[in-house]
Structure 1
């Protein structure tokens, strides 16, 4: 076999031949897969426990006028109920003296007698007056308060106590919803009954640690997931030594206590107080 073509092919092979990339060592691959401290975050859950007012606030002038029109329209277009029909029957029977005397002798009550009895029964249950300015105490809102309040707790963190929502760090193998339930139990006790709304959190924000804390724990901060809950009944019973105090706060009182990131996350999930 002739090999005269080999000298002509070698220059072409030399020009196009490139070395294969070197395989990365196991140590290099391991270091690239390990996250740096700037990429590590804790996962925590806080619960916004909201207590709705028991008494509705007074209506403004425009809603009050609209409500009056609706009630008048309902009276004009609705059918008569049994009591109103009985009033008409008694009015027609007033001209018959014998019929009214028979009813009196038989001991039957007229519609006017029924209305008098209802008024007496209603007088035994006096309604509390509306008082939008009644605040009560920070630990117990006034029964006549017409505005919602949110539960805050004061944590002992270093030399300066911090006001936050009831919160807890997520444990391994725990869902966010389970962490939210534990946050309420650990922070304010089992006597406070709340209803956590949904399985997914309502808001999230980043809580960055201080430089000293980052160097101590090797993490940038914590991802704070906020759940929303409604107050049902019961009282707050603090059993956690890290909690110094608690307060049911109005919306404007949150501004002076909570951190700005936490307030911004709560802005869209709080009870709408607009009339």
Structure 2
């Protein structure tokens, strides 16, 4: 199957990795924001969602962050091209024609504000250091993140 055909059957999705620097006296601590979806499995992930036809991946990542966390949270986009890709198949047949998703990851630096979960798409969030993320995410997602955290 050629690349164009694969792109047609995998839904384009953009994820945003929001990182926050905390400067302490002796070191700089870096944490990342994960959000919790209202489901039993695969609940914790970076804010993400489907890319609309007229927008770039980076634009979709910023829009999804705004939709899921509200407009109070301000970030500065670091990447305009993906720093990593995670492709997976959906667990069951869907009616939209897609058999899976192709998630593109973009980074952003936290500026100010708070994530205010909408209670529908997102029910909670956490700021976590890199080592703690593995405890929250599904093993397949964790594996995909290896290419993102160099």
**The two structures share one fold, judged by TM-score above 0.5:** yes
Residues 1:45 and 2:14 are matched in the alignment: yes
1:197 pairs with one of 51, 54, 78: 78
Runs of 4 or more, structure 1, over 6 Å off, are: none
- Flag structure 1 segments of 5+ consecutive residues without an equivalent: 1-34, 59-145
- Flag structure 2 segments of 5+ consecutive residues without an equivalent: none
Find the counterpart in structure 2 of residue 84 from structure 1: none
Q: Output the CA distance in 2 between the equivalents of 1:240 and 1:194.
A: 21
Higher Rg: 1
Change (3 A) 1:231 1:156: same
SS in 2 for 1:256: helix
Residues 1:176 and 2:145 are matched in the alignment: no
SS in 1 for 2:136: coil
Find the counterpart in structure 1 of residue 146 from structure 2: 267
The C-alpha deviation readout for 1:78-114, integer Å capped at 9, x for no partner, is: xxxxxxxxxxxxxxxxxxxxxxxxxxxxxxxxxxxxx
Q: Output the CA distance in 1 between the equivalents of 2:147 and 2:24.
A: 23
Aligned pair count reads 145
In the superposition, the TM-score normalised over structure 2's length comes to 0.83
Change (3 A) 1:53 1:208: same
Give me the CA root mean square deviation.
2.4
Q: How far off is 1:243 after superposition?
A: 1.0
* Bigger RCO of structures 1 and 2 (CA < 8 A, at least 6 apart): 2
